[in-house]
Amino acid sequence: MIGERIRELRTARSMTATELARAADVSVGMISQVERGITDPSLETVRRIAKVLDTPVFSLFRESGAEPVAVVRKDRRMTVRSPHSEIVYERVSAGAGRVEVLEGVLEPGAASSDPGWTHPSDECVVVLTGRLVVEVNDDRFVLKAGDSATFDSRNPHRYLNETAKPVRFLLAVTPPSY
């Protein structure tokens, strides 16, 4: 499904696979394999492609036919993993609206990105279990279960788990972005 969506967005922008690959700093073979459903891209690759296509990451997973009330069953959530599964995001929101809600799990000793990531949105993160370090610019904020932080995502930011147990959190992003 993601490959079809990438091809659809790429062709709508009159962009060749080579142009997309060059702009996203990935191989043409990778774009071809993703578009044909042969391989699943890493979270970092999806982010790069989404940025080039100027679309939110999870819009690449969007299902057509928006309903007036969208119910997302826990066992039917879209999932995106980092290359080594240090972080996993599940889309809690339906994905066609003005806010994106994700449930994240960050493994012990892992970071959501390296270095900090930027995108044109606002974020609110709420820790469900464990302890999460939120880095925004050069500032660090330690959040425990029930704590939250809201910030402008245009500032370089990332999430870290400096503990020996996984941390679970909810993340709301508006507007959805890459």
- 108's CB contacts (< 8 A; 6+ apart) are 161, 163, 164, 165, 166
Give the predicted TM-score (pTM) of the model: 0.70
Domains of the chain with bracketed CATH: 2-55 (1.10.260.40), 74-174 (2.60.120.10)
Look up residue 136 and give its two tokens. Answer: 């925004």
For residue range 131-144, list pLDDT tens digits in order.
999 999 999 999 99
Query: CA-CA distance, 161 to 167, in Å (whole number)?
Result: 7
The H or E element that residue 58 is part of is none
For residue range 83-93, list pLDDT tens digits in order.
666 889 898 98
pLDDT at 62: 62
Query: CA-CA distance, 118 to 101, in Å (whole number)?
Result: 17
Omega into 115 within 30° of 0, i.e. cis?
yes
Instruction: Give the type of residue at 178.
Output: Y
User: How much is the CA Rg of the chain, to the nearest whole Å?
Assistant: 16
Task: Say if CB 35 and CB 6 are below 8 A apart.
Answer: yes
The pairing of strands 139-144 and 100-106 is unpaired
Residue 72's pLDDT band (cuts 50, 70, 90)? confident
Residue 41's pLDDT band (cuts 50, 70, 90)? confident
For residue range 51-67, list pLDDT tens digits in order.
999 888 877 876 555 56
